[in-house]
Structure formats: structure tokens, C-alpha cells
Amino acid sequence: GAGVSQTPSNKVTEKGKYVELRCDPISGHTALYWYRQSLGQGPEFLIYFQGTGAADDSGLPNDRFFAVRPEGSVSTLKIQRTERGDSAVYLCASSLSGHNEQFFGPGTRLTVL
């Protein structure tokens, strides 16, 4: 079956701009996670959704970052006033529930110039 999909695969933007990154989880998966991965590091947790609600947003670095999942399926990660330090690969993962194995999408590589 179809895996997790993410769009766009690459996003180049200028410092100060607003970006949206989209994630479409595996069908039927209620849990959705966003992670961020910098070069040479493991992924770092950003936010977790169970259904439509953000159950844990403790990993969001500051209030420029926000994510939604209005219908309990597709999620959008929104970054305002982007900074060069936001450049990374943003990974989305989903699982059947909050206690199962997580499967990652292909990621969005964000570059802030």
C-alpha cells in the first residue's frame, strides 16, 4: 500500500518568508509525528498528533513553528519568518496508534537563504 507522502520534496526560500510543508500519512494511521533532521544527526522530535489534536508539541523550537491536522489525516507544518537555522530535512512519520512502529515519509529538504 501507499506509504507516507510529503510535499514538496525540496523547498528553497528566503530568510523571513513563510513556508508550509505537507504530510499525508499512511491510510488508517491515527498517530502522526513531525521530526527535523540536521546533517550528521538523528531526527529530532517536533510534534505529535493523535487524531486532530496536537497531543505533544514540546519539540517545536519556538512560536514561529506551528502544525495542524484539521481532519485527522493530512498535516501541515507551518514556519513563519524563516531563519537560516531552520534549514534541515523535515520528516513526517505515522503509526497505527500512539504505541506502534513509526514509518517515515521521504522528507522535505528546506533551505533558507
Partner 1 sequence: QKEVEQNSGPLSVPEGAIASLNCTYSDRVSQSFFWYRQYSGKSPELIMSIYSNGDKEDGRFTAQLNKASQYVSLLIRDSQPSDSATYLCAAALIIQGAQKLVFGQGTRLTINP
Can you give the binding site for partner 1, defined by CB under 8 A? 31, 33, 35, 40-45, 48, 50, 55-56, 58-59, 89, 91, 93, 98-99, 101-107
Output the CA–CA distances (angstroms, integers) from residue 8 to 51, 77, 96, in the order listed: 23, 12, 24
Q: Which is nearer to partner 1, 45 or 66 (CB)?
A: 45
Minimum CB distance to partner 1, residue 81 (Å) = 26
Q: Which is nearer to partner 1, 28 or 40 (CB)?
A: 40
Minimum CB distance to partner 1, residue 102 (Å) = 6
Q: Which is nearer to partner 1, 16 or 61 (CB)?
A: 61
**Cβ–Cβ contacts within 10 Å for residue 21, how many?**
21
Instruction: Evaluate whether 107 touches 11 at the Cβ level (below 8 Å).
Output: no
What are 97's three cell numbers?
Answer: 496508534
Minimum CB distance to partner 1, residue 26 (Å) = 12
Residue with cell 546533517: 39
End-to-end CA distance of the chain: 37
Spatial separation of the C-alpha atoms in residues 69 and 55, rounded to whole Å: 11
Minimum CB distance to partner 1, residue 7 (Å) = 14
Q: Which is nearer to partner 1, 14 or 41 (CB)?
A: 41
